[in-house]
Amino acid sequence: MYAPFELEMPGDLAGALDALAAGRDSKTVPIAGGTNLIVDMRAKRERPDRVVALGEVGELRGMDFGAERISIGGRTTVTDLLRSPEVAEAAPSLIESARLFAGLMVRNTATVAGNIACGSPAADLVPPLLSLDADVTLASAAGTRTVPLDEYFLGYKRDVRRPDELITRISWPRLPVPSVNTFYKLARRKGDAITVTGVALTLCAAGGTCTKARIALGAVAPIVLRARQAEALLEGRALTPALIDRAAAAAAAASSPIDDVRASAGYRLHTVEVLTRRLVSRAWDRFDRQGDQGTAASAAVPAHEVTAQRRAGSDGRSA
Amino acid sequence: MTGITSEAPSRPNVRFRQVGRPLTRTDAPGKVAGRTPYAGDYVMPDMLHMRVVRADVASARLVRLDVSRARALQGVACALTAADLPDRAVSTDIPGQVGRKRLDTGQQILVRERVRYFGEPLALIAAETRDVADHALELVEAELEPIPGVYDPVEAMQPGAPIVTEPDNIVAERRIRKGDVEAGFAEADVIVENTFRTPFQEHAFLEPEVGLAWVDENDVVNIRVSTQVIEHFRPIADAIGVPHNKVRIRGALVGGGFGGKEDLTVEIYLALLARRTGRPVRLEYTREDSFVGHGKRHPFVLTYRTGVTRDGRITALDVRMVADSGAYVFLSPYVLLYALVAAPGPYRVDNLDVFARAVATNNMFTSAFRGFGALQACAAYEQQMDEVAKAIGLDRMELRRRNFLKTGEPMSTGFVPPSAIWTDRCAERAWAALGEPTPARGPIRIGRGIGCYQQSYGRLTFLHDTSEAWVGVEMDGTVVVRSGVTDIGAGQVSALGQIAVEALGTTLDNVVVYNSDSAVTPLAGTTTATRALYMTGNAVKQAAEAVRARLVERAARAFGVAPDDVDMGFNEVFVAERPDRSMPLVELVRICGAEGIHRSELAMFRAPFTDFLDPETGQGQAHPDYAYGAHAVEVAVDVDTGEVEVLKSVAAHDVGQCINPAAVEGQIQGGAQNGQGYALSEEMLYEEGRLITPSFSEYLMPTAMDMPKVECIILESRSGVGPYGAKGIGEPAMTPVAPAIANAVADAIGVRVFEMPITPERIVRALKRRDGTGRLDSPA
Ligand SMILES: Cc1cc2nc3c(=O)[nH]c(=O)nc-3n(C[C@H](O)[C@H](O)[C@H](O)COP(=O)(O)OP(=O)(O)OC[C@H]3O[C@@H](n4cnc5c(N)ncnc54)[C@H](O)[C@@H]3O)c2cc1C
């Protein structure tokens, strides 16, 4: 099934970083949940010589909820996210994503760092984290550095991480009040499906104008990317349907999707536009309705309300 | 001890004590506790592990096949190619109890010269370990010279199209001509014509194909395999060139069949290498092997032309069908026949012309799949009914009501089904059960649809189907049933147990059913065609009632009453209405034992035997009988993204008589899911015949998150030709689901997507085409 490899199971972070540093000459890779790596090894897309398992590395677990920033360990699993009321408050989009992430068994083991490091444009935790202005902390035996997630990806499955580095933490600032932070995963089925188009949005407002907009798009370009032009159109203005239309068109223009077995490029462009328009206008309506009183916690705007209600109803199964 | 018993069977119990109850199935405890061995759990000492080397193109000439490096690898016991085999084909025809064989349906065992589909086996490897076999696989060198192939059945019929197998690409052609179609169209006020397309479908059983073979001390090749059909020992023996009694199939509980284990899968490869190496060999398909290793559901292109009067009477129907048979024939001619017979659906159509063709392509070969052609016909005729209703401005249900075939009326082939036709009741119940409509909101539109159907149960009557079962009562009053029937997870074996204990006055925990061994258990025929309960249920009932008659006769003497006054139940034998005059069943059995009264019986049930349908008109009897029912759904469609959510799913089927209602419900739930995937999300994409969706990350069946609660309404007309008036539910449960969903989507968005699966993208395209808001252009 797999080409033979050596397995290391360090007991702490220093051990893991040493093992990676020692393996610089061979093909050495870390493994967290293994939900990407094992699949790739089985298909012989990856043939590592040494695999460093992070299962025993306690430093990579744990979440910190500070007054200013939230910080989670790289080995935080998708299930960990779903079990945390603090994450639900600090990052509604991440929870919406986690809820539709894979199936229960995969969620129990798949990690946030693995999702980022796999470099897939369809990685579902990345658009929410991008919309939250997240930073990634990378550590190696030589030292630690922090890079904005926004600058982490270089191209399709290419990133700034050196082979001897680990993603140790992911952090993001608390959302201002009022703000809306939301994610919509469009896929060919609800459970266990690879995303066709993913749109994450953070929208903040004050005094009737949009003070901040973050639009992150998944599965429509070689990397998960921000629709900067669309964001710029919205920021500093009172949103109107015409403006929102222009922003949605700008988001589509920022995308460069391909045809694949899930959908055509044309459909992806169409849905980027439709979903961006929908998420932004619903978020804006919410500010209107609540007179700028919306909070991050209560502001998860369902993109698809009938569906969203049913999903909420099926939480027992899904989360 | 063969044939129908000469003694008159006793009257069945007036009051059911076992049948009709949702009893815990006999196979449940073992499965729940993980004790039940499946075919893949069997191992033997000294066993070798096999892999199949496959072609990675769909149409090519094999120029050179070199297995020398694989053979030289340490741990490889055997690498076999066509050069090592006699030039013999495997029959892919239906293996009937009568052993009929049509040579022209044969498939080469391994590619000799011509590759006709992607994944066609080139060589077989057997090695000491699975890892070595995997490695050896990579060392086989195949030089394949591409040959232009044909990948669309309509193109394959054009002059000049590449020929898959000489003489031409038409694999089968069938026709129904009934009444006067021209006169019928002349009488019509409106003529509605539409073309519908249905897709490939993968069976996607949980358990991929797997088996273990060894040669025993009598030189018999034993094959423990996951199969729906143990009667395959015959074509296996023919293919490897040994007498029929030198191959023995021992089944196991099957981890899902759905028709995908109706044809041979791994058996011949196992048999060949077990004989060649003299060692036990095991072959387990990977999921990727499974995707290319067994035949799929036939894609169909169906053109329906319906003549109808303003008041909704169908005056004529003309149907053209083209089925993609793929690279080999397999069961295509039969699938086509089912589609032909089912063409008008459960409606009375006196002027009918159906012309159906199965066409060879270099796509994956297609064969049996739950619904077997009748399902594809239903996908079209039920969508067409909605389109006809729309064209004349009549309510969809009302159009159906006015045309439903009624009990005692002749169907498409002129045959009058012997049982009740309760389509109307089923349709009304299912439709009403949808209840209050869900309100539409913004871009979310709500729609409803219904699918009604006619689906045969039991095999084609010209195949002269029979089934045998042996039933005996042990000295302690427990019951043994022996019958070759395979249990593919639907509770086939448990139902037989329930029937036996009903007749023999005991309870389900007192029976053991031995099944699925071609050498030891009486041959019962295939578990396919919704026939297991009908055929083997009747055989078990016949055998058990013969034994019961002898027991009752002896008890009557003991009680000094007439046999008709004796009843049995819950291990007691008593005078009816006089429970004080009773004796334990075990007591009666002891008396019978001491007196040499025969406590067992081997019975054969014979389905009606008929000739083939008239080749010109398609008139005559095709099947023993038919099942009828309906499925209704409500969907929510997002008109911006094209996403569909099934909100409500209601099935109403006349099953004749439930043997085990819990098992019936299981079939209905599964059918609803299977049909929903077929309608909406399951898609096998091929590029030049190469499957590009060979895994469950691309081939998307509905998950628990995608399924609504499925409501099951079970009706019992007690009119079927199965035991106690049972019909069947295995295939019917799925047949009407997809068109119901298609109709609901069309109802929601006001435009029809004529091709399944109805993907979000196809919905958006259809809406844009209608609204003239551009196309989904790819970026320049
Ligand atoms: C059935 C199934 C369904 C899935 N569904 C989804 C889905 O809905 N959405 C989605 O986004 N993904 C999905 N995935 C993909 C996968 O589960 C996720 O990408 C997951 O987050 C990967 O995390 P992991 O811990 O399993 O990573 P691994 O497989 O262990 O590793 C993935 C990559 O990241 C590297 N890596 C792991 N940890 C670190 C670290 N701390 N620092 C640096 N590099 C690291 C590894 O070397 C490897 O290259 C699915 C996978 C499967 C098998």
Summarised one tens digit per residue, pLDDT across range B455-481 is 999 999 999 999 999 999 999 999 999
| Residue B221: inside a domain | yes
Question: Which helix (H) or strand (E) segment is A140 a member of?
Answer: strand A135-140
Average pLDDT over residues B254-269: 97
Among the candidates B558, B579, B606, a domain finishes at B606
- Mean pLDDT for chain A overall: 91
Nearest CB among B706, B776, B778 relative to A189 is that of B706
Say if residues B108 and B89 touch (Cβ distance below 8 Å): yes
Residues A42, A80, A226, A284, CA torsion sign: positive
Q: How far is Cα A274 from Cα A217, in angstroms, rounded to an integer?
A: 12
Is A249 contained in some domain? yes
Residue B127: φ, ψ to 5°: -140, 170
Ligand 1 center to A300 CA (angstroms): 25
Based on the domain organization, do A12 and A124 belong to the same domain? no
| The last residue of a domain, from among A173, A191, A214 | A173
Which of B641, B759, B778 is opposite residue A266, by nearest beta carbon?
Answer: B778
Q: Please tell me whether residues A227 and A258 are part of one structural domain.
A: yes
Is B365 in the same domain as B497? no
For residue B442, list chain A residues with Cβ-Cβ distance below 8 A. 305
Residue in B closest to A319 by C-alpha: B705
Distance CA B591, CA A196 (A): 73
Is residue B587 situated within a structural domain?
yes
Q: How many CB atoms lie within 10 A of CB B744?
A: 31
Global pTM reads: 0.95
Residues B599 and B682 in one domain: no
Q: Per-residue pLDDT tens for B110-146? A: 999 999 999 999 999 999 999 999 999 999 999 999 9
Per-position DSSP letters for B731-751, written without gaps between them: TTTTTTHHHHHHHHHHHHHSS
| Cβ–Cβ below 8 Å for A263 and B760 | yes
Q: What CATH number is given to the structural domain containing B280?
A: 3.90.1170.50
Substitution target in B441, B700, B741, B771 with the highest count of A β-carbons within 10 Å is B700
- Which among A186, A257, A305 has CB closest to B643? A186
Q: In this model, does residue A316 exceed pLDDT 60?
A: no
CA distance A276 to A294: 20
**Co-location of A67 and A165 in the same domain:** yes
Quote the pLDDT of residue B104: 54
- Decide if B183 touches A, using CB distance below 8 A: no
Query: Which of A188, A257, A270 lies closest to B681 in CB terms?
Result: A188
Q: Is the CB of A192 under 6 A from ligand 1?
A: yes
Does B127 share its domain with B246?
A: yes
Last residue of a domain, one of B245, B260, B284: B284
φ, ψ dihedrals at B79, nearest 5°: -135, 115
- Tokens 């320049």 belong to which residue? B780
Rg (CA), chain B: 27
Q: What is the pLDDT of residue B9?
A: 36
A193–B contact, CB cutoff 8 A: yes
Distance CA B203, CA B209 (A): 11
Q: SS3 of B183, please?
A: helix
3-class DSSP assignment, residue B688: coil
**Angle subtended by helix axes B374-392 and B332-342, to nearest 10:** 30
Looking at residue A96, which CATH number applies to its domain? 3.30.465.10
CA A83–ligand 1 middle distance (angstroms):
19
Average pLDDT over residues B678-693: 96
Mean pLDDT for the stretch of residues B400-426: 98
| Model confidence pLDDT, tens digit, residues B494-543 | 999 999 999 999 999 999 999 999 999 999 999 999 999 999 999 999 99
Measured distance CA(A133)–CA(A174) in Å, rounded: 10
> Going by C-beta distance under 8 Å and a sequence separation of 6 or more, which residues neighbour residue B377?
B300, B302, B321, B338, B339, B342, B343, B345
**Nearest-angstrom CA–CA distance, B645 and B656:** 32
The whole-angstrom separation of Cα B308 and Cα B192 is 8
Is B194 part of any domain?
no
Rounded to whole angstroms, the Cα distance separating B760 from B490 reads 33
> Which of the listed residues A36, A53, A70 is the one where a domain comes to its end?
A53
User: What are the tokens at B135?
Assistant: 């490695």
Give the pLDDT of residue B381: 98
Closest CA to A133 of A86, A62, A70: A70
What span, in angstroms and rounded, lies between the C-alpha atoms of B392 and B189? 9
Letter for the amino acid at B726? A
Cβ atoms of B667 and B461 closer than 8 Å: no
Q: Which residue in the block uniquely carries the two structure tokens 């008659």?
A: B549
Q: Do residue A307 and residue B692 have CB atoms under 8 angstroms apart?
A: no
DSSP 3-state of B417? coil
Distance of CA B728 to the CA centre of its chain: 12
Inform me whether the pLDDT recorded for A289 exceeds 60. Answer: yes
Shortest alpha-carbon distance between residue A4 and chain B (Å)? 10
In a domain, B190, yes or no: no
Helix axes B760-771, A265-290, angle to 10 degrees: 80
CA dist B303 and B354 (Å) reads: 10
CA distances from A296 to A148, A200, A279 (A): 22, 14, 15
Q: Which among A192, A267, A275 has CB closest to B764?
A: A267
Q: What percent of chain B has pLDDT over 70?
A: 96
If asked whether residues A96 and A158 sit together in one domain, one would say yes
Task: Indicate the number of domains in chain B.
Answer: 3
Amino acid at A184: Y
Q: What is the pLDDT of residue B106?
A: 78
Task: Decide: helix, strand or coil at residue B104.
Answer: helix
| Chain B environment of A186 (Cβ under 8 Å) | 641, 643, 760
Residue A150 lies in a domain: yes
Within 8 A of B638 by CB-CB distance, chain A residues are: 304, 307
Q: Is residue B204 part of a domain?
A: no
Q: What is the pLDDT of residue A291?
A: 61
Atom of ligand 1 nearest to the CA of A138: 42
- Say if B776 is an interface residue toward chain A (CB within 8 Å): yes
Contact between A275 and A282 under an 8 Å Cβ cutoff? The reply is no
Q: Residue B101 has what DSSP assignment?
A: -
The percentage of chain B sitting over the pLDDT mark of 90, rounded to a whole number, equals: 93
pLDDT at B105: 58
Phi and psi angles of residue B288, each rounded to the nearest 5 degrees, phi first = -65, -40
- At residue A106, what is the residue type? V
Is A1 a member of any domain?
A: no
Does the residue B621 lie in any domain?
yes
Q: Are residues A183 and A124 in the same domain?
A: no
Residues A26 and A84 in one domain: no
* B55-67: average pLDDT: 98
Instruction: Give the distance from residue A229's alpha carbon to the nearest chain B alpha carbon, in angstroms.
Output: 19
Q: Is B773's Cβ below 8 Å from some Cβ in A?
A: no
Count of structural domains within chain A: 3
Whole-number average pLDDT of chain B:
94
Residue A123 CA: distances (Å) to CA of A129, A135, B304, B398, B456: 11, 16, 45, 49, 47
Confidence check: pLDDT of B98 > 50: no
Asked if pLDDT for residue B546 goes beyond 60, the answer is yes
Taking residues B330-342, what's their average pLDDT? Answer: 95
Q: Is the peptide bond before B563 cis (omega within 30 degrees of 0)?
A: no
Q: Is the beta carbon of A181 within 6 A of some atom in ligand 1?
A: no
Q: Which amino acid is at B526?
A: T
pLDDT at B13: 41
Residue A94 lies inside a defined structural domain of this protein: yes
Is the confidence at residue B1, as pLDDT, over 90?
no
The answer to whether A234 touches A257, Cβ cutoff 8 Å, is no
What CATH number is attached to the domain comprising A288? 3.30.390.50
The pLDDT of residue A4 is 86
Report whether pLDDT(B780) > 70. Answer: no
**Residue A24 and residue A77 in one domain:** no
Query: Does a structural domain hold residue B642?
Result: yes
On whether residue A318 sits in a domain, the answer given is: no
Among B641, B687, B703, B775, the residue to mutate for chain A (most A Cβ within 10 A): B641
List, in order, residues 6 or more apart from A105 with CB less than 8 Å away: none
Residues in chain B: 780
pLDDT attached to residue A1: 65
Is the CB of B700 less than 8 angstroms away from the CB of A307?
A: no
Question: Cα–Cα distance between B657 and B312 in angstroms, integer?
Answer: 33
DSSP readout, B472-494? Answer: EE-TTS-EEEEE-----SS-HHH
Closest CA to B398 of B318, B307, B308: B308
Domain shared by B595 and B578, yes or no: yes
The set of residues, in sequence order, having a beta carbon less than 8 Å from that of A43 and lying 6+ positions away, is none
CB contact under 8 A, B641 and A275: yes
CA distance A200 to chain B (A): 16
Say if A23 falls within a structural domain: yes
Q: Residue B442 and residue A305: Cβ atoms within 8 Å?
A: yes
Q: Say yes or no to pLDDT of A319 above 70.
A: no
Same domain, B704 and B653: yes
- Residue B275 to residues B15, B240, B520: CA-CA distances in angstroms? 54, 9, 22
Cα torsion B344, B346, B347, B349: sign: positive
Q: Which residues pair with B170 in a beta bridge?
A: B359
Instruction: Give residues with Cβ within 8 angstroms of B406, minimum separation 6.
Output: B348, B421, B424
What is the CATH number for A35?
A: 3.30.43
CB-CB contact of B403 with B347 (8 Å): yes
Distance CA B7, CA A186 (A): 66
What range does the domain containing B660 cover? 300-460+612-771
Q: What percent of chain A has pLDDT over 90?
A: 86
A105 C-alpha vs ligand 1 centroid, how far in Å? 13
The CA distance from A278 to A183, in Å, is 11
User: Does one domain contain both B442 and B475?
Assistant: no
Query: Measuring CA to CA, which residue among B397, B543, B414 is closest to residue B469?
Result: B543
What mean pLDDT comes out for the span A108-125? 97
Helix, strand, coil tally for chain B in percent (to 5):
30, 25, 45
Phi, psi for B652 (deg, rounded to 5):
-135, 115
CA-based nearest residue to B1, from B600, B482, B524: B600
**CA distance linking residue B418 with residue B654, whole number of Å:** 14
Residue B456's domain is classified under what CATH number? Answer: 3.30.365.10
pLDDT classification of A305: cutoffs 50, 70, 90 = very low
Domain containing A216: what range? 179-313
Give yes or no: residues A183 and A308 share one domain.
yes
Close Cβ partners of B119 (under 8 Å, ≥ 6 residues apart):
B54, B55, B291, B292, B293, B364, B691
SS3 B282: strand
Q: For residue B355, give Cα distances in angstroms to B22, B203, B210, B458, B462.
A: 43, 27, 39, 24, 20
Q: Which of A156, A173, A190 is the last residue of a domain?
A: A173
Out of B284, B319, B334, pick the residue that ends a domain. B284
Q: Would you place residue B93 in the very low, low, confident or very high pLDDT band (cuts 50, 70, 90)?
A: low
In sequence order, the β-bridge partners of residue B481 are: B471, B513
Q: Measure in Å the smallest separation between the Cα of B687 and chain A Cα atoms.
A: 11
Distance CA A174, CA A38 (A): 35
Distance in angstroms (rounded) separating the CA atoms of residues A137 and A146: 4
